[in-house]
Structure 1
C-alpha cells in the first residue's frame, strides 16, 4: 500500500513549513504533496499541546477554500449548498489520497461523512475535527446556523478536550462511530449564497476540477487506485475484483493486465489491505472477531484466523492481547 499524501497551500499554513511542494495555483500541474501521516501527526501534536479543545475544529472552520486548491475554488464557486458539498466530495481526491468524503441524502436528512482510509495513520482525532470543521465552515457560508445541525459523530473515543468543542458547537458529539459525520436537515441543501457567483466562474472552475481529476487518475498507479477502492468498500463486504474493475470503468481482464504491468496482482493488493485493516481493527476496536472477518470479506472466522496466523505468526486473539504494541513490533 503506497504512502498517503495531502496537498494544498493550507498545508504550509497549518504546519508553518513549505509543506513539500504545495501550491494554490489552479492552472499549475498537481503538486506532489506531503505525507498525510506527517500532517496528521503534526495536528495531533498541536492538539495535545493546547488547552483549547475546540482549536482543531475552529481552525477547520476558518480555512479559506481557495487554499485547498482547485477543489476549493470549484466548491466556493457554487451558488447552492447541495452543489457545493457534492463538488467538495468529488474533488477531495485532489486534496488528499486514501481518504473519502461522502454526501448522502436519506429521507429528510443529509449525512456528510469523512474518513481517512489508510489504517496505518492513527490517532487522527485532530484531523477529523479539522476536516469536519472545514465542512461546517462551508455550510456556514450558505447561511446554515449552528442550531441546524442534527448530529455530530467521530470515530475516535471521547476525551476531556471534547467538552470545549461541545460548548463551542452547542451540541454534544457521539464517539466511537464507524465514521466522522455531520447530519443536517436535507432542506439546507437548497440554501444559496448571498453573493452569487457568475455562471462563467462556475463553468470555468468546474472544467478545471474535471481536468485535475483526469490528470490525477492518469498519474496515479493503477495499483494505488485499486487499494483505495478496496479500502473504501472493505467495511461494506463488497470487495471483489469485479467490483473494483467496474468502479474503474474497466473489464476484469483489462484490470488484471494493468496490474500485471505494475507487478501487483489483485490478490496481493487485497491481502495487503486485509492485513493492514484487520490488524488496526484488532488493536484499536472492540469488534468481535467474526464481525471483523466478515468486514474483511472472509467467509468465516476460521479463514480469518488462519490468514492472520500465517501473516503475523500469532492468532487474532494474541494480537489483540498485545494491543498497540502489536503495531510497533509488527508494522
Structure 2
C-alpha cells in the first residue's frame, strides 16, 4: 500500500486552540515541523505524519483534550467542498451523511460509517492502514468534528450518548468520559459515537448557499481512476477482514466491476487477488500482534479468515521468514 494521505488542512486550528488554552505554541516541539497554512495550503500530506503529530503533541503536553477541542472548534470551511456541503445541510442527518459519503476526499484508507436502527445511530471511525499505530488522538479529533455537527442541532439528550475507543484505557491520558461528557468504553474494534437516532432529524442553520455536489462527485471519480486497483481492493479487504468472509466476487462488486474484469486488471498490474489478500492478512497480523497481546495465534488466524492455524503459520513464515510466535516475541522484546 502506498503512503496514504490526509488533507493538510487537518492541521488548521491547532495553534490557536493551544494558545486559547494557555499553551505557548512556539514552545511545543510537535508544532515546530508544521508550516503555516499559507505554505502548506490544502495539498495532501502523509496520514502517518498527521497521526504522529497528534500523538506527539498529546505526549508532550500530557493533555488529551487538545485534539478533541480542536475538532469541536474546527472551521468546517477548511474541509473545502466537503465542508461546504456540510454547511449547506439543513439537518444533522444530512450533514453527517455527507461527511461520511465524501470523507475519501479528506483522508485515505479509513472506514467511516453511519449506521442506524429504530432507536439509535452510530458513527464509527477507523484507519485501515495497519502500519499506522498508535492512532488514538486523530480519532479524538475526528469524533470532535462529528460531535460539533451533532451539537449544532441538538439542545438536549446528550446524557444518552456514549463513546467507544480502539485504545485501551491505560493508553489514554486523563479522564476521557469527563472530556467528552458521556460514558466511554475502551479496547473496541473501532472508534464510535452512539446517539439517539432522533438527533438525525434535528434542524441546522445553513451557513453555505448550495452544496457543490457535482464538483465533489467529479473529484471522487478522478480519485478512483488514479488509484491502482490493488490498492482499492486492499482497502476493502482491510475493512472486512475480521467481519465478513472475503469473497472475490463481492469485493469486485464493491469497487464497481465484475470478478473477471477485476482479475484481468490485476494481472495487467502484475498482481492477483490472492496476492492482495495474502499481503493484507499478513500485515494485519502484525497489527493484531501489536494491539491484541492477549489473543492467541490461533485466534488471530481465525480473525484473519484462515480456517486452520497451520495454514496461517506457513503463510506467515513464507512472508516474514519466521513463525508468527517468534515474530510476536520480537515485537514484545522491542516494547519492553
Partner of 2:19: none
Distance 1:94 1:79 in 2: 22
Partner of 1:236: 243
8 A Cα contact 1:99 1:117, kept in partner = yes
Partner of 1:4: 4
Equivalent residue pairs, number: 316
Correspondence 1:242-253 to 2 at 5 A: 242-253=249-260
Distance 1:145 1:66 in 2: 26
Distance 2:102 2:50 in 1: 20
Work out whether 1:154 is the aligned partner of 2:165.
yes
What SS does the aligned partner of 1:217 have? helix
Work out whether 1:46 is the aligned partner of 2:57.
yes
Partner of 1:115: 126
Work out whether 1:17 is the aligned partner of 2:35.
yes
Distance 1:10 1:277 in 2: 26
Q: Give the aligned CA root-mean-square deviation in angstroms.
A: 2.3
CA spacing shift, 1:116–1:191, aligned 2, 3 Å: same
Distance 2:189 2:84 in 1: 30
158-167 or 259-268, which moves further after superposition? 158-167
The Cα of 1:264 is off from its aligned counterpart by 2.4
Query: Equivalent of 1:78, from 89, 110, 113?
Result: 89
The Cα of 1:76 is off from its aligned counterpart by 1.9
Correspondence 1:133-144 to 2 at 5 A: 133-143=144-154
Distance 1:51 1:97 in 2: 28
8 A Cα contact 1:8 1:67, kept in partner = no
8 A Cα contact 1:62 1:137, kept in partner = yes
Partner of 2:198: 187
Query: Equivalent of 2:217, from 205, 210, 215?
Result: 210
Work out whether 1:126 is the aligned partner of 2:144.
no
Partner of 2:320: 312
Distance 1:311 1:44 in 2: 30
214-223 or 176-185, which moves further after superposition? 214-223
Query: Equivalent of 2:276, from 253, 264, 269?
Result: 269
The Cα of 1:291 is off from its aligned counterpart by 2.8
Distance 2:221 2:41 in 1: 18
What SS does the aligned partner of 1:323 have? helix
Q: Given the two structures, how large is their TM-score scaled by the length of structure 2? A: 0.86
8 A Cα contact 1:156 1:176, kept in partner = yes
Q: Structure 2: where are the runs of 5+ without partners?
A: 15-30
Q: Given the two structures, how large is their TM-score scaled by the length of structure 1? A: 0.88
What SS does the aligned partner of 1:236 have? coil
The Cα of 1:185 is off from its aligned counterpart by 0.5
What SS does the aligned partner of 1:163 have? coil
What SS does the aligned partner of 2:82 have? helix
Distance 2:165 2:186 in 1: 5
Partner of 2:210: 201
The Cα of 1:295 is off from its aligned counterpart by 2.2
CA spacing shift, 1:207–1:144, aligned 2, 3 Å: farther
8 A Cα contact 2:13 2:74, kept in partner = no
The Cα offsets for residues 65-84 of structure 1, whole Å up to 9 and x where unpaired, read as: 11122222212211111111
Distance 2:156 2:271 in 1: 48
Q: Structure 1: where are the runs of 5+ without partners?
A: 25-30
The Cα offsets for residues 121-155 of structure 1, whole Å up to 9 and x where unpaired, read as: 01011111111111111111222557244210110
Partner of 1:283: 290
Distance 2:210 2:319 in 1: 52
The Cα of 1:117 is off from its aligned counterpart by 0.2
What SS does the aligned partner of 2:114 have? strand
8 A Cα contact 2:161 2:183, kept in partner = no
CA spacing shift, 1:168–1:93, aligned 2, 3 Å: same
8 A Cα contact 1:156 1:177, kept in partner = yes
Work out whether 1:94 is the aligned partner of 2:105.
yes
